[in-house]
């Protein structure tokens, strides 16, 4: 049987950083567990962040109006994507789990990692309009965010100055990872390593090491399955009326994004939900 593979997409400039330490713990622990670990060190290879015409080898389908998404879809089908993109796509194909390791930049990933997402997760390879979310192309794979912050945890709570971290994580976890079908594992958040004592940093690394041992067996986060929606253009890809009706008396929204004007299901984007209470509501 082929050795199972984990891909770490890594974005930090400094080998002495806390992010580098977190990456090294993951490589060591997962290797000891028997996984083959690939690291895409984006700054080290000077990974290009810009999605441009240079990503397509040969002629464009429509040179009058350059449409990156269309052109890269055709280039993917015809084997005409740039070599750096193809190399990353091969690593994704092989991986059972993809870990994105980065410092939080402006509530999101650093630009170089956003560029990886823009350029590697092309239409056809990573999604199609027929295959998305829980029916997505990578539905048999897992992915997770592992990141450091400058802010303390209290600042990213619903009553903290930055607002609820669950809201901040929705675009990356739902809009990118789950959109491509990945089962998204709860994020690993290292709160403010630059502003805490050395002992606290050591404890964070120990916690990560312990989590890694059971990571692949973890239950993923909860998202609203496609089956709750009318997946037609006439239906506007909206929640089916009977689902809305069924949810009317429930205390919480379905997910952070599908909140239906109700309180958000607690920790929807940071913790796998233990009970049925917050799972999407298609009681059959």
HSE-CB at 234 with a 13 A cutoff on CA atoms is 0
* Total of chain residues touching ligand FAD, rule CB under 6 A: 21
Nearer to ligand FAD, 28 or 194 (CB): 194
Residue 197 beta carbon to ligand FAD: minimum distance, rounded to whole angstroms: 10
d(CA 263, CA 283): 20
Nearer to ligand FAD, 187 or 193 (CB): 193
Residue 168 beta carbon to ligand FAD: minimum distance, rounded to whole angstroms: 8
Q: Binding marks (x or -) toward ligand FAD, 68..97, rule CB under 6 A? A: ------------------------------
For position 166 contacting ligand FAD by CB under 6 A, the verdict is: no
| Chain-centre distance for alpha carbon 98 | 8
d(CA 186, CA 165): 12
d(CA 105, CA 92): 24
d(CA 240, CA 284): 14
Which residues, 13 to 42, sit near ligand FAD by CB under 6 A?
A: 14, 16-19, 21
Nearer to ligand FAD, 111 or 260 (CB): 111
* Helix axis angle, 111-120 to 83-94, nearest 10°: 80
**Are 184 and 178 within 8 A, CB to CB?**
yes
Which of 40, 103, 177, 253 binds ligand FAD (CB under 6 A)? It is: 103
Which residues, 128 to 157, sit near ligand FAD by CB under 6 A?
A: 148-151
Tokens of 65: 């109006």
* Helix axis angle, 18-32 to 198-214, nearest 10°: 30
Residue 46 beta carbon to ligand FAD: minimum distance, rounded to whole angstroms: 18
Nearer to ligand FAD, 73 or 109 (CB): 109
The residues binding ligand FAD (CB under 6 A) are 12, 14, 16-19, 21, 103-107, 148-151, 193-194, 201-202, 205
């Amino acid at each position: 049987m082929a050795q199972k593979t984990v891909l770490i997409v890594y974005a930090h400039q400094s080998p002495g950083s806390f992010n580098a330490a977190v990456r090294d713990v993951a490589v060591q622990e997962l290797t000891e567990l028997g996984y083959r670990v690939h690291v895409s060190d984006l700054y080290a290879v000077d990974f290009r962040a810009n999605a441009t015409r240079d990503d397509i080898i040969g002629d464009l389908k429509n040179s009058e109006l350059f449409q990156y998404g269309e052109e890269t879809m055709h280039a993917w089908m015809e084997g005409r994507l740039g070599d750096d993109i193809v190399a990353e796509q091969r690593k994704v194909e092989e991986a059972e789990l993809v870990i994105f390791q980065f410092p939080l930049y402006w509530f999101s990933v650093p630009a170089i990692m956003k560029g990886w997402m823009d350029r590697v997760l092309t239409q056809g390879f990573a999604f199609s309009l027929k295959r998305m979310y829980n029916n997505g192309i990578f539905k048999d794979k897992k992915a997770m965010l592992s990141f450091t912050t400058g802010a303390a945890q209290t600042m990213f709570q619903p009553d903290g100055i930055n607002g609820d971290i669950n809201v901040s994580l929705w675009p990356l976890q739902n809009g990118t990872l789950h959109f491509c079908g990945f089962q998204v594992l709860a994020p690993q958040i290292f709160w403010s390593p630059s502003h805490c004592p050395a002992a606290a940093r050591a404890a964070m690394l120990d916690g990560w090491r312990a989590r890694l041992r059971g990571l692949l067996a973890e239950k993923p986060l909860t998202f609203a399955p496609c089956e709750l929606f009318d997946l037609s253009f006439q239906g506007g890809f909206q929640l089916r009326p009977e689902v809305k009706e069924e949810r009317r008396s429930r205390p919480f929204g379905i997910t952070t994004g599908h909140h239906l004007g109700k309180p958000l299901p607690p920790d929807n984007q940071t913790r796998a939900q233990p009970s049925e209470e917050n799972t999407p509501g298609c009681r059959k």
